[in-house]
Amino acid sequence: MKPMQRKALKKKDALWLGFVALLTLLPLAPAVAANSFHMHVVILILLFASMAQAWNIIGGYCGQVSFGHSVFFGIGAYGAGMAVVTYGGMPWPGILVGVILAAAVAVVISYPCFKLSGHYFAIATFAIVEIFNRSFLVWDWIGGALGLDYPLVKEGLMNLMWYNTKTGYYYCALILFLTIFGTVRWLEGHRFGYYMRAVREGQETAESLGVNSTAVKLAALTALCGAFFAQYNLRVDTPMVVSLDMSMKFVLITVLGGAGTLVGPLLGAAVLIPLQEYTQAFWGGLGGGVDLIIFGLLIILMVVKQPGGMIGIFHAVQKGILKRKNAAKGESADGAP
């Protein structure tokens, strides 16, 4: 039994390693490299998969549905943005400050929020996003309603900015993606994984098992994603980064892919982001929100038809294949030895 298990584990690891290698080499693929729009979509997929994965820990594994993650995201984005725009320096110190601040905010707001459960928790996180959204909009020091527009400075890793190709951004997004997926993968195998599943059943134990401290770490990672988003967009404004719409994206992607699973966020992002970007590209020009009408309909359809997420389809297919294999082998294969 044991060698079997190890073999299965190794096979899974090999699959992951192959996948990572594929991602590393992706910019060399001519179809992607030649068309920067495809590249843009791939970068966004990686970024949003990372963000969704950070949400997945609290929302998926622990079952605490938070709509407040755009607060951390926004703090990260503003940290990078202000370092470059307001102070005219490199983004790095700003990113560091943003990450620390986001963690601090997470400590403060998780204290009252984790006392709540179910919808009360969800609505409390709504309220927090709205409070931040409205205060940021009128706070002149951080750019207020105008937002921050990046100046053009020398490209390169120092300034975390590239103009000619998107390859630099791609590798940054990839590192972000691997860091967050690696963390979650590690957590899943770790004792903590069992804790998390326990918390999903009974929430009172959350605090005693240290979900709070995990929430803080993941807030920091979310802020890192926000900083990258700011550097990539070359613009930070409140409705874009700290808003319910942004928060909903974290949730939508994860749930569409499969909440509480490792691959779920990646699957969700790989479906939702191209959907959003290409509907915008094809139908956005029609004006009057046609792209969003289609987007809304597709969300309803996907959620209603596949409430367990896309991962459910994969499991169904896998089961089907297994069944057929077993049927081919004969009766003995799926029964007792």
Partner 1 sequence: METFVQVLIDGMLNGMVYALVAAGLCLIWGLMDVINFAHGEYLMVAMYVSYWLGFLLNVDPVVSVVAAGIFIFILGVLTYQLIIRYTIGKPGLVALLATFGLAIFLKNVCLNRFSPNFLILSGTWLGDKTLNLGNLIFSLPQVVAAFMALVVVGLIYALINTTRFGWAIQATALDRDAAELMGINTERIYLLVFGISGACVGIAGGIMPSYLAVHPEVGSMFGLIAFVCVAMGGFGSIPGAFLAGLLVGSVEALAGFYLAPVFKYIAVFGLYLAVVCLRPKGIFGW
Q: Which one of 190-198, 221-229, 266-274, 299-307 is the stretch in contact with partner 1 (CB under 8 A)?
A: 299-307
Query: Are 129 and 244 contacting, i.e. CB atoms less than 8 angstroms apart?
Result: yes
Burial 123-153 (b: 16+ CB within 10 A, else e): ebbeebbeebbeebbeeeebbeeebbebeee
CB of 296 vs partner 1, minimal distance in Å: 3
Question: Which residues, 6+ apart, have CB-to-CB distance to 327 below 8 Å?
Answer: none
Max intra-chain CA distance, the chain: 73
Question: Which residues, 6+ apart, have CB-to-CB distance to 80 below 8 Å?
Answer: 91, 94, 95, 98, 160, 226, 227, 228, 230, 231, 236
Cα of first residue to Cα of last residue in the chain, in angstroms, is: 14
Q: Which one of 34-42, 167-175, 214-222, 296-304 is the stretch in contact with partner 1 (CB under 8 A)?
A: 296-304
Our finding on whether 296 is near partner 1 (CB under 8 A) is: yes
Our finding on whether 275 is near partner 1 (CB under 8 A) is: no
Our finding on whether 194 is near partner 1 (CB under 8 A) is: no
As a whole number of angstroms, the distance between CA 128 and CA 133 comes to: 8
**CB nearer to partner 1: pick between 89 and 308:** 308
Q: Which one of 30-38, 243-251, 271-279, 329-337 is the stretch in contact with partner 1 (CB under 8 A)?
A: 243-251
Our finding on whether 293 is near partner 1 (CB under 8 A) is: yes
Our finding on whether 93 is near partner 1 (CB under 8 A) is: no
Each residue 45-84 as x (binds partner 1 by CB under 8 A) or -, in order, gives --------------------x-------------------
Which position among 151, 202, 285, 307 is part of the footprint of partner 1 (CB under 8 A)?
307
Our finding on whether 199 is near partner 1 (CB under 8 A) is: no
How many residues bind to partner 1 according to rule CB under 8 A? 40
Which position among 255, 262, 266, 269 is part of the footprint of partner 1 (CB under 8 A)?
255
Our finding on whether 298 is near partner 1 (CB under 8 A) is: yes
**Of 234, 236, 214, 222, nearest to 70 (Cα)?**
222
Our finding on whether 327 is near partner 1 (CB under 8 A) is: no
Query: Are 291 and 284 contacting, i.e. CB atoms less than 8 angstroms apart?
Result: yes
Q: Which one of 79-87, 120-128, 231-239, 320-328 is the stretch in contact with partner 1 (CB under 8 A)?
A: 120-128
Burial level of 21, CB count in 10 A (0-12/13-18/19+)?
exposed
Tell me which residues in 159-188 interact with partner 1 (CB under 8 A).
none
As a whole number of angstroms, the distance between CA 220 and CA 103 comes to: 5
Our finding on whether 285 is near partner 1 (CB under 8 A) is: no
Calculate the alpha carbon distances from 233 to 8, 21, 84, 143, 242 in Å: 42, 27, 13, 16, 15
Q: Summarize as ranges the residues that interact with partner 1 (CB under 8 A).
A: 65, 112, 115-120, 122-124, 126-128, 130-131, 134-135, 137-138, 244, 248, 251-252, 255, 259, 288-290, 292-293, 295-300, 303-304, 307
